[in-house]
Amino acid sequence: MRVAILGVGLIGGSVGLAARQRLGAFVTGHDPDPEAMRVGLDVGALDAAGTLAEAVADADVAVVGAPVGRIPEVVEAVLRHAGPDTIVTDVGSAKGAIVAAVDDRRFVGGHPLAGAETAGVRHAREDLFAGAPWYLTPRSGSSGVVFERLTRFLAGLGARPQAIEAATHDRLMASISHVPHVIANVLVAQAAVVLADDGTLPATGPSFRDATRVAGANTTMWTDIYLANRDALVDRLDDVVHRLQTVRADLVAGDAAAIAGWNDAARADREALLAVGLAGGTAPSCELRVAVPNRPGVVADVALALGHAGINIHDMTLSPSDDERTGEVALWVDADGASRAAELVAGLGLRVEGAP
Amino acid sequence: MRVAILGVGLIGGSVGLAARQRLGAFVTGHDPDPEAMRVGLDVGALDAAGTLAEAVADADVAVVGAPVGRIPEVVEAVLRHAGPDTIVTDVGSAKGAIVAAVDDRRFVGGHPLAGAETAGVRHAREDLFAGAPWYLTPRSGSSGVVFERLTRFLAGLGARPQAIEAATHDRLMASISHVPHVIANVLVAQAAVVLADDGTLPATGPSFRDATRVAGANTTMWTDIYLANRDALVDRLDDVVHRLQTVRADLVAGDAAAIAGWNDAARADREALLAVGLAGGTAPSCELRVAVPNRPGVVADVALALGHAGINIHDMTLSPSDDERTGEVALWVDADGASRAAELVAGLGLRVEGAP
């Protein structure tokens, strides 16, 4: 197996290390910065480095790890140099613009939830993706074969691939990552004014330290991320402002019952979020076999239906039948989501075997 | 030494444990909940429990640990039953209303920055205040003797007392504690809507987990805290909204330079806040002796001037002269703030000896 890494940073380098060590792949790399390629070879993330065209030649999988603002152009360049069977993906943290810009059956957008804070291939680790969610954003027209091979490749790196619509992904990332980063910046800026005005030591408590740990994260990377996801981010910031103004009104009115109810609701929300997060990490997996017509998009439709319901696909195989007109998809899903998965797949008009 | 604890919860119980174990004090307690008194005796936080009047009788120091909304009435009750030399303080997290309501030379408001999250005397620890900042809010007319004895008592519990104006305290607490709690609630509420709408697993990253750890904290306690500090909290929430709207405008304009500059400023702010926090925790202390006229308020003025400049007072003694018309205050302050402290004290028209 040959893997190409375009953009040799923390994520690209970790893909290279994991692909070499876990899958025995031959990994080629390209980066506009020659030093990144040198370090990539040094730390064992790459077998070879060269131009983009050299790195992509004969690759089975090409992973674009460029800064998110540059991803569409790099993906286009990779697709121009890649062969007809090369699978191309990216690791950008905002997906709407990329998925809209690239229309090619060889491409499926992706985003691993791992290691955004310490940049650089020098920090690359072969276990960076172990157990980590890796979102994939197939379109309805995406090739099932491409999606299946990519899913297996990512599972082979140790990640847990999950399909999701690009727009939902971007809204989710805005809520759980980009908005908390914006707010961390706002909180330190506000506290710094108290420090500057009064010279008073702000002996900060744990809530402040926790909420501001990511303040002022890598400027180049985060300016890029904020702007790449700006539509969803602006929408979620407006939602935050609206919620703050509701609390403000309750405070001004001295409405203790409203404040108490709002705080109780937050506790319930937090518990629900924790419960989902925990369930996702520990469930054993179950096999579902699905007979599918051999047409584009059917596998992506299945993956999106399960992803939409919060059901993880741990692994997946796609076996065409002899006549090439039908096939079978085997899916390994969370055991506690298997019944629901079978219903969802049946709801798409597909026949399910091995349902629990 | 006799110490009275009015309100036997986590903070009151920890004061009792520390006073007994570190200062050899005899600790009496009162709580409207008999079970809290029973547990307080069980865990060794109290030597005796009884009515408020019984607990306060003959106390050298009375510490009011009632919920912050009830503190003014409990302090008034304690002052009615306390002797002329009893020092009365409280541990409320908002100080403006309390300090405005209570005008008695025996009272100085206080607030330890320790252990707000796990409530109840069962969680009390004798080392809860070890190294923790303990804000004191003397008024210009506060008794120097009372302030000095209270400072020494708190330092004896292991805390680091620091004088601060009540209004500054409340603004600071809003910024570094109450606003982060409000935002944690807002973030989980927003993310829970994504969960409910889409059923998508929000595989949350570390920034979200950190920012929402305190979401839905104890409702009774936090409703009380939010409302007790509502003026400062509303002001700081308005500032947060204003800052979010500025970022929003830069995002909509696609202004990468503005976003990058804002993020760089946040990094600098965070580093400045960390530097101050770290410096406060590790500096050795230096002695300053100050000749003071024997008039009310002079010690509070000195403490406020140093607190205003972010200089910690580790310990303090007040020695009246033989003629009772002048006296000497010995202050132990952070070594790296000692020169500045000497200047500030001299600026108040007081003579400093032992300046570095």
Condensed to tens digits (0 to 9), the pLDDT of residues B287-322 reads 777 877 766 677 777 878 887 777 777 666 666 555
The yes-or-no verdict on residue B160 having pLDDT over 50 is yes
Task: Read off φ and ψ for residue A138, nearest 5 degrees.
Answer: -65, 150
Nearest CB partner across the interface for A177, out of B207, B222, B244: B207
Locus of tokens 């109810």: A261
Which strands make up the sheet holding A313-320, listed edge to edge? A313-320, A326-334, A285-293, A351-353
Residues B147-169, mean pLDDT to the nearest whole number: 92
> What would the pLDDT profile of B318-350 be if each residue is shown by its tens digit?
665 555 566 777 777 766 777 888 888 888 888
- Hey, where are the domains in chain B? 2-164, 169-254, 283-353
The DSSP symbol for A82 reads: S
Right CATH for B2-164 from 3.40.50.720, 1.20.120.140, 3.20.20.240, 2.60.40.10: 3.40.50.720
Residue A219 to residue B244, Cβ atoms within 8 A: no
The DSSP symbol for B138 reads: -
What is the identity of the amino acid at A356? P
Q: How far is CA A193 from the centre of its chain?
A: 36
Question: What torsion, rounded to 10 degrees, do the Cα atoms A326, A331, A335, A341 define?
Answer: -50
Closest approach of A48 to chain B, Cα-based (Å): 33
The H or E element containing residue B49 is strand B48-49
What is the C-alpha to C-alpha distance for residues A284 and A277, in angstroms, rounded to an integer? Answer: 15
Residue B185 to residue A262, Cβ atoms within 8 A: yes
CATH level 3 topology of A169-254: 6-phosphogluconate dehydrogenase C-terminal fold (1.10.3660)
Q: Is the ipTM of this complex over 0.90?
A: no
Residue A216 to residue B310, Cβ atoms within 8 A: no
Residue A211 to residue B180, Cβ atoms within 8 A: yes
Residue B240 to residue A184, Cβ atoms within 8 A: no
A308 touches chain B (CB under 8 A): yes
Q: Which of residues 146-165 of A touch B (CB under 8 A)?
A: 162, 164
What is the C-alpha to C-alpha distance for residues A88 and B59, in angstroms, rounded to an integer? Answer: 76
Look at A208-217, B7-16, B95-104, B300-309 and tell me which has the smallest mean pLDDT: B300-309
Residue of B nearest to A239 (CA): B190
- Per CATH, the number for A283-353 is 3.30.70.260
- The CA distances from residue A273 to A51, A243, A277, B213, in Å, are 44, 19, 6, 12
A182 touches chain B (CB under 8 A): yes
> What would the pLDDT profile of A251-297 be if each residue is shown by its tens digit?
999 999 999 999 999 999 888 887 765 333 334 457 777 877 766 67
Residue B267 to residue A219, Cβ atoms within 8 A: yes
Supply the pTM of this predicted model.
Answer: 0.71
Chain B contact set for A235 (CB, 8 A) = none
B260 touches chain A (CB under 8 A): yes
Is residue A126 very low, low, confident or very high in pLDDT (cuts 50, 70, 90)? very high
Chain B contact set for A260 (CB, 8 A) = 219-220, 223
Predicted pLDDT at A279: 31
A86 touches chain B (CB under 8 A): no
Predicted pLDDT at A73: 95
Mutate to test the interface with A, among B160, B197, B270, B306 (most CBs of A within 10 A): B270
Nearest CB partner across the interface for B251, out of A226, A251, A267: A226
Residue of A nearest to B208 (CA): A176
Kindly give, in sequence order, each residue whose CB lies less than 8 Å from that of residue B251, ignoring residues fewer than 6 positions away.
Answer: A226, A227, A230, A233, A234, A237, B259
Locus of tokens 């291939």: A121
Tell me whether the CATH fold assigned to A169-254 matches the one assigned to A283-353: no
The yes-or-no verdict on residue A74 having pLDDT over 70 is yes
Residue B237 to residue A223, Cβ atoms within 8 A: no
Which ranges of B253-324 does DSSP label H, i.e. alpha helix?
A: 256-282, 298-308
Kindly give, in sequence order, each residue whose CB lies less than 8 Å from that of residue A82, ignoring residues fewer than 6 positions away.
Answer: A56, A59, A62, A88, A106
Predicted pLDDT at B220: 86
B188 touches chain A (CB under 8 A): yes
What is the identity of the amino acid at B4? A
